Chains A and B, each alone.
Chain A
């Protein structure tokens, strides 16, 4: 499996988690789509440094070769899967009646 294929599987898995497994349906909410561009901006900067400075190096045979701010486009998919699964889990845990929710603070 190439990184391109793995990234596609990652996005599909995150969508599955959000829409069906946890049922948080964040991708249908405006809040998520207002949050994602902000996180994406941060990702492009951090990822741009990581790849531009060649801290992380990619095997040219594992990627399709399109790049955005130095980073392979696959990283965008990886980041999307990471952010969506994180927020889906977070939202799900919150809905379950405050697992670990903050007590009324001082």
Chain B
């Protein structure tokens, strides 16, 4: 076989944006098992966070596409378009970035041991006690 035919390379190129998203996830998902941040475990809370974000920022994206603020290289996306000409990758972007952000936020909270200035102090006590016991420090 040797060199892959150009058509394959073109097919791979359509996955470029998806590969970027996979890279983001790879950079953050390890926090769940390694630091035990318990973000994915709280999947309903995560879902309730992500859904409004997807709707609001997806709406912004659709409006921006319509207003010609930005466009996407058809060669580097899968070509799956959602209503409003929103590329599938953009929808996933608004899922992946929030998930990564929450993982990072919880990792910081966990390593800081919830000090005084944390706005969640107090009401997070149940979680805090449980999580703190996970950390040997």
User: B-contacting residues of A (Cβ < 8 Å)?
Assistant: 1-3, 6, 10, 24-26, 28-32, 34-35, 38-39, 42-43, 45-46, 49-50, 53-59, 62-63, 79, 82-83, 85-87, 89-91, 93-95, 97-102, 104-105
User: A34, B112: Cβ atoms under 8 Å?
Assistant: yes
Sample (12) of A-B pairs whose CB atoms are under 8 Å apart: A6-B64, A29-B117, A31-B105, A31-B108, A46-B23, A55-B76, A57-B73, A59-B71, A62-B67, A86-B101, A89-B52, A105-B38
Q: How many residues of chain B are within 8 Å of chain A by beta carbon? A: 55
Q: Which chain B residues have a beta carbon within 8 Å of chain A's beta carbons? A: 16-17, 20, 23-24, 27-28, 38, 41-50, 52-53, 56-57, 60, 63-64, 67-73, 76-77, 94, 97-98, 100-102, 104-105, 108-109, 112, 115, 117-120, 123-124, 126-127, 130
